[in-house]
Structure 1
């Protein structure tokens, strides 16, 4: 694009979301970072000071329909349209064992990881520019074809549901040339991935941004990794 992109990153207060915000700002783009408690997001507030006029913040809880509606109402006060939406916010309930999986964990995971990104994209569809990109951060743990063992059921189930949401959004937004991608960042050194993961956040995000930049309408609805390689459903 010849002009800076208008980007919204959810879960931007830490991990991959914060790294997306950082790298997009370094590229010269304008970024709206959304998270549950912006006042507590010290690293994100530092970016606001470092990139005045290009870094903005708004509260968002993707598990709360009212919070999604409020962000949709407030976004036009920040941007007159949106070129890139990165649905990064997610939750992982660790330590789940078969026989003791809690309904609350399943409900929270589904609302945050699956229905939240779908509902946010639906709410923001009117302001998505023609040819915009919508990226849902998925996981190999949401791949049914790659399932090897019983693990993190609330997370895995919600990510599999999110993958269907990505495919449905690709169909819904195709007429406007909007590209929707489900991206698996890989095993990344974040609070969720742990210190022994294979990739740094910088490496994972740099790879995903290359995939996003190179994607065309024919790629919409695909499930890809940070190198642009297809991930089995």
Structure 2
């Protein structure tokens, strides 16, 4: 990178989001980390002390569009008059476990769609004015959102919401193309986090290292693609 970027990461208080923050800070970037309860984000607040002036922790609830608007109003104060986001990582998400056919709760489906699909779409729309021309938007999808890869009735509300996020990615890619903004959907792999579980084979540091490598090599020709953390295409 020729100069530090301003980056924003959602769901940054744990798991992959926290690892994104760590690696972006290590690369010299300026990071805005968002989560629902900044006061409880112990790891983020520790990092703030270790990187004075380069990490800001702000509140955001992906399921509540009013908080998107509040974040959009506050960002110019953090970025400065001429500051723009060079990277937006829509990482925040929710997974409802234990679902089985015949017993899928409407509230869980609605929550999954609000957080995993509508949230990233509406947030990107709200933050578009502060995205730099040529910026990159990363939507954290999942191979479980690939319709072509479905093998059973597994995590239905999560899978449905991630498939919807993939469509949102393509639509955002078309909407932002004239500004040279690249929008990609990525699968981080099965990662050993609170969401992925202790049996997952991929370490967070390896997943995020791979994902950031894809960000660095992404061009406008990649906008609207669905890839994994190794850069391999995933069927829709």
TM-score by length of 1: 0.99
Give deviations 1:87-121, integer Å, cap 9, x for gaps. 00000000001101001000100000000000000
Q: Which runs of 4+ in 1 moved over 2 A?
A: none
Check if 1:113 corresponds to 2:116.
Answer: yes
Distance 2:75 2:151 in 1: 42
> In the aligned structure 1, how far is the partner of 2:152 from the partner of 2:145?
12
RMSD: 0.5
| SS in structure 2 at match of 1:32 | strand
1:8 aligns with 2:8: yes
Kindly state the Cα deviation for residue 182 of structure 1 after the two structures are TM-superposed.
Answer: 0.1
Give the counterpart of 1:161 among 161, 164, 167: 164
SS at match of 2:147: coil
Residue 123 of structure 1: how far off its partner (Å): 0.4
Partner of 1:175: 178
Q: Which runs of 5+ in 1 are unaligned?
A: none
Residue deviations 1:165-193 (CA, integer Å, cap 9, x gap): 00000000000000001000000000111
Shift of 1:202: 0.1
The alpha-carbon deviation at position 31 of structure 1 amounts to: 0.2
Q: What's the TM-score once normalised by structure 2's chain length?
A: 0.98
Match of 1:95 among 95, 98, 103: 98
Aligned length: 233
Please list, as runs of the form range in 1=range in 2, the aligned pairs for 1:1-233 lying within 5 A after superposition. Answer: 1-79=1-79, 80-233=83-236
Shift of 1:81: 1.1
CA distance in 2, matches of 1:92, 1:196: 16
SS of 1:78 mapped into structure 2: helix
State how far apart, in whole Å, the 2-side matches of 1:154 and 1:64 are: 19
The CA distance in 2 between the partners of 1:2 and 1:130, in whole Å, is 16
Name the SS of the counterpart of 1:181 in structure 2: strand
The 3-state SS of whatever aligns with 1:95 is coil
Gaps of 5+ in 2: none
Deviation at 1:198, TM superposition (A): 1.1
Deviations 1:185-230 (A, max 9, x none): 0000001111111110000000000001001000000000000000
Q: Secondary structure at the match of 1:90?
A: coil
In 1, Cα distance between the equivalents of 2:66 and 2:128? 17
Q: CA deviation at 1:24?
A: 0.1
What secondary structure does 1:145 align onto? Answer: helix
- 1:3 Cα deviation from its structure 2 partner: 1.4
